[in-house]
Amino acid sequence: MSLLQVKNLVVEFPTRRGTLRALDDISFDIAPGEILGVVGESGAGKSLTGASIIGLLEPPGRIASGQVLLEGQRVDNLPHEKMRRIRGRKIGAIFQDPLTSLNPLYSVGRQLTETITTHLPVNAAEARERAIQLLRDTGIPAAEQRIDHYPHQFSGGMRQRVVIALALAAEPQLIVADEPTTALDVSIQAQIITLLKTICKQRGAAVMLITHDMGVIAETCDRVAVMYAGRVAEIGPVHEVINHPAHPYTRGLMACIPDMTQERERLHQIDGAMPRLNAIPKGCAYNPRCEHVFDRCHVDRPDLMDAGATRAACWLQQGAAA
């Protein structure tokens, strides 16, 4: 059974010049203990999808239609106070910049213990011991001393570990991790990836990992959803999407990655850019940049359809299946 289900999610931003549709009919699910990667260029809608799930969609953005279900319960239409109690207790969040997630005026211990006592039935002493253990679990040395330090006394990688500890403080079933390794060096990035995988294995938590790095996706995730212009272009098992991409956009992303076994004078690049929200082309949004575009791509928008072991929103798959 799926822990998280996102069904036909549509997010809109009303403006003076009309309504902009930022997410258009997004659907996916995540099972307990699974890591789903969400990848795509800047502006594809990755972070907005995560914000919509955890109830942090900033006005004037609004969920126009669709549903977000956690353990079968709909959470997208809950009042602010009820969603606030779910956020932290059942859904944890890890953001790209740890400095925006941590209060510089409070020690990390105070921030951890307040989160724990807010969501769990423990006293102050138990909360502090639990906070120290969380810091140990996330790889922070001398946790008994570092718990009383302030965010500015930690390095970037250590601050990110504190943010992960905060996300885990109330033992949530779902963790939404938005570019958690982007600002870190390679060695710390590998440690954070290992930590996320360990969390899933030991705690049975589900993770939605938002990133633009296909290397992180390949190393970390069980399945991957490739997003383009506010829609899911392809979704399926990681090894299938990486080794046998079905959508031309996914193939373009994979071709941009350097191949260490072959010599090439220059890397492949996808011509053009992600369309603006007020200028998304009719039919398939990728058609201005696609090497395989044909007449139907300019007229009809494809939905996700079977493409071997994955599902891709591309009319080429209908021709392949015929």
Compute mean pLDDT per 10 residues along the chain, 322 residues long, and list them: 93 93 96 94 93 92 95 92 88 84 94 93 94 89 95 89 89 90 74 81 88 86 96 96 94 80 74 91 94 93 93 85 43
Question: What pLDDT is stored for residue 23 in this prediction?
Answer: 96
Q: Which domain holds residue 266?
A: 247-322
- Name the residue with tokens 């072991």: 309
Nearest CA-CA partner of 101 in 45, 169, 193: 169
Question: What pLDDT is stored for residue 64 in this prediction?
Answer: 95
Does 108 reside within a domain?
Answer: no
Q: Please, are residues 310 and 243 in contact by the beta-carbon 8 Å criterion? A: no
Question: What pLDDT is stored for residue 243 in this prediction?
Answer: 92
Beta-ladder partners of 12: 21, 62
Does 242 reside within a domain?
Answer: no
Question: What pLDDT is stored for residue 183 in this prediction?
Answer: 64
Beta-ladder partners of 234: 226, 312
Distance in angstroms (rounded) separating the CA atoms of residues 268 and 252: 8
Beta-ladder partners of 74: 69
Does 223 reside within a domain?
Answer: no
Does 28 reside within a domain?
Answer: no
What single-letter DSSP state applies at residue 95?
Answer: -
Does 291 reside within a domain?
Answer: yes
Does 317 reside within a domain?
Answer: yes
Domain count within the chain: 1
Question: What pLDDT is stored for residue 149 in this prediction?
Answer: 97
Question: What pLDDT is stored for residue 321 in this prediction?
Answer: 45
User: In which order are the strands placed within the sheet that holds 73-74?
Assistant: 18-30, 4-15, 62-70, 73-74
Does 280 reside within a domain?
Answer: yes
Does 207 reside within a domain?
Answer: no
